[in-house]
Chains A and B, each alone.
Chain A
Amino acid sequence: MEITRIDLIIDKHEAKASSLVQVLLEIQRENHWLPKEALERVAERLQVPLSRIQHIVTFYKAFSLVPKGRHEIHVCMGTACHVRGAQRILDRVEDITGIKAGETDQDLKFSLETVNCLGCCAMGPVMVVDGAYYGKLAPAKSEEVLKNYE
């Protein structure tokens, strides 16, 4: 991510230390992860120690310190999905992709995350791949879905 782009985000928030979480969120959203250079720039411009930034980016779940895969899979583990068998969906997806929740594979094809609730409980169990929703899943169906992603 280019420094000028990071600076633009920081400027939008007037380089205030109180905007730290919001600034990091915007960088995360644009770049999908937080490279070290970005964090150093934020520390310098917002006058916040890097240790505090490290505290924040490891505390909140929205941040990633490693690059993400081409396709982001989110398996909903909300209560409604859980009682409808979300764990079995996750087991199968982990099996197919060869990665655990929170990981990215070495080819940077898939990143797998679990989410606590997507709020479309009527469709549970639900999986989202790159923003497309797949509902009323069974383990076999989740395999079919993932076959379509290269």
Chain B
Amino acid sequence: MPRITSPVELEKVRQEIVASKERNKPCVSICVGAGCLASGANEVMAAFKSEIEKQGLKTEVNTKGTGCPGFCERGPIVVVYPEEICYLQVKAEDVPEIVSQTLKGKKVVERLVYVDPATGEKATKESDIPFYKNQIRSIIGENIKIDPKNIEDYLAVGGYSALAKALSGMTPEQVVEEVKTSKIRGRGGAGFPTGMKWEFARKAPGDTKYVVVNADEGDPGAFMDRAVLEGNPHSVLEGLTIGAYAIGAHEGYIYVRQEYPLAIENVTLAIKQSEEYGFLGKNILGSGFDFTVKVARGAGAFVCGEETSLLASLEGRAGEPKARPPFPATKGLWGKPTNINNVETWANVPLIISKGAAAFSAVGTEGSKGTKIFSLVGKVKNTGLVEVPMGITLRDIVFKVGGGIPGEKKFKAVQTGGPSGGCIPEEHMDMKVDFDELPRAGAIMGSGGMIVMDEDTCMVDVARYFVDFLSDESCGKCVPCREGIRQMNKILSDITKGKGKEGDIEILEELSEATTNASLCALGKTAANPVLSTIRYFRDEYEAHIKGKKCPAYSCKELVAYYIDPKKCQACMTCAKQCPADAIVGGKNQIHVIDQAKCTKCGTCFEVCPTKFRAVTKISGEPVPAPIPEEARTIVRERKQK
């Protein structure tokens, strides 16, 4: 492929690609994002390839591995074009039927399409599934149409036209102005206005400047950036190149955590293809603008998501943060002005340039424009990635898009913003999700992790979990963060073990204040949020742990005992056989009893006890009833009447 040297030539190449893709030629798209891969997408892909050949359709049907469309709960996901039939939870053994029925016979395999659990209605097309219907998917919507390893797919959907527009028809200042007008705010967590950040870097004195993609997505339970980088790497590269042009940078870095090997592979390949096609390198699209990009891998440190730590890591040092100012916009990588944005922010840039700031800011609220991708996980029916307009309510996300809580359990809270965020209870579920509203409830927007919790989730344990995570990830450079978090962790851990003391809540609040005020970087400054928000809304749970030695969610191991109700036990031996600690005494027709001294509280008996008996119960905050005497354990069963 010779380099494309002008916007006119780009349009010509695009026309050729679109023409060569015979419009009605059937194509099978299979999501090969990390989620679907984990549930066996590779086997499905292989099965399609061999089955299509076997049934003699090799020249008539294309197969394509694509990025993540978001509905991870029902993966592996297969979409058959041109009819757009969406099959869910496809297994390799379903493939022959799909090939013969759908590809050959043009019939829908009914058992593999989405069925609405509430109404029983079937949805054949992706766009008819309620999970998707309530979203606006301007960023991840393209994923299922694109093979991330093939730049032509990106060009076919209009890729790199924003870059052509910026380079041929706009001055760098105009690009900055357009981004400012769009009012987009950074998707990485803090929500700083992107256009302003760009302007600082643009105006900073110096000839050498850098642009950086922050793909060190470390929040546990969040994988938006991975899906974008894996599924549509060219959209990030295009945004980055536009940003480099606007700021005046000629070198860029993509800092990806090494735990995302597929994202690294896809973006590295995308850079290579972009260079071949002339979207990177010297004299891009004949504009005279030069830009190159390198990929750097993170080595597994959460703090490197903080921009000054990230830069230290890029320079080959330990990722420890620096005090700001000076901000990276004036003194960043190797002391030069540097602009760092999150993956999702960069991916929004081509959209803003091609459709215009006005179209972008038509979606959203006054202070937060556009859409936001969330990873909706935890105790929710439709786990996956959702892209929704800013300003949607939490209730709509959890119940309309997410489908509510599985297993008829009661909703308790939703946690947003990862370890820097907070838990929002039922009473605030009608709150609008945007950068300014969430902090009022003690949470933050963050990068987009959204973890749903039900009645079985202990809120003290959730606080302990995040603080434990942060205690591990604190780089240790500043004392308030290192020691403050460690002490909070110790107190919370004691509370969950039943060793809580009166006054612990007050000490936690005091430590929170000190850590928030005195820490050097955002990791420490926000570390107390999970603690403070759970104290604010679930103080009763803290008190139950401390005073009553009771875990109301029956979740904290040390405060829970398992007990077999002798009235319900039918001596079926299921639990006794599976108990890994041999702690269950009982035999045939002998009511089972748990030996509390041997019990390791693994919960296996509770899980395996047949639902028709439900004899195993959890006890917390009160003594376990004494086992019934041995002579009373025999079950006398009535003989069945003949």
Contacts and interface: CB of A to CB of B under 8 A. Distances in A.
A78 to B, nearest CB: 4
Contacts of A16: 316
Interface string B391-413: 00000000000000000000000
B271 to A, nearest CB: 15
B457 interface: yes
B27 to A, nearest CB: 25
Question: Interface size bucket, B side?
Answer: 35 or more
Given A79-B221, A80-B221, A139-B604, A121 B296 contact: no
B254 to A, nearest CB: 13
A117 B318 contact: no
B56 interface: no
A69 B485 CA distance: 33
B221 A21 contact: no
Contact of A117 (B37, B39, B221): B221
B301 A59 contact: yes
B440 interface: no
B131 interface: no
B377 A79 contact: yes
Interface string B30-50: 000011011100000000000
Interface string A44-62: 0000000010011001111
B259 A126 contact: no
B315 A117 contact: no
Contact of B580 (A80, A123, A126, A139): A139
B603 interface: yes
Contacts of A116: 218, 220, 302, 469
A82 to B, nearest CB: 5
B453 interface: yes
Interface stretch (B90-98, B136-144, B378-386, B634-642): B378-386
Nearest to B451: A79
Interface in B255-283: 258-260
Q: Which of A20, A21, A118 has the most CB of B within 10 A?
A: A21
A121 B223 contact: yes
Question: Interface size bucket, A side?
Answer: 35 or more
B377 A121 contact: yes
A122 B35 contact: yes
Interface in A128-150: 133, 135, 138-140, 143
Closest 5 CB pairs of A and B: A61-B300, A119-B223, A60-B299, A79-B221, A80-B377
Interface of B: 34-35, 37-39, 72-73, 75, 218-223, 226, 258-260, 296-297, 299-302, 313-319, 375, 377-379, 383-384, 415, 418, 449, 451, 453, 457, 462, 465-466, 469, 475, 557, 578, 580, 600, 602-604, 607-608
11 contacts: A22-B316, A60-B318, A61-B299, A62-B300, A79-B449, A82-B220, A92-B602, A117-B219, A118-B34, A120-B39, A122-B75
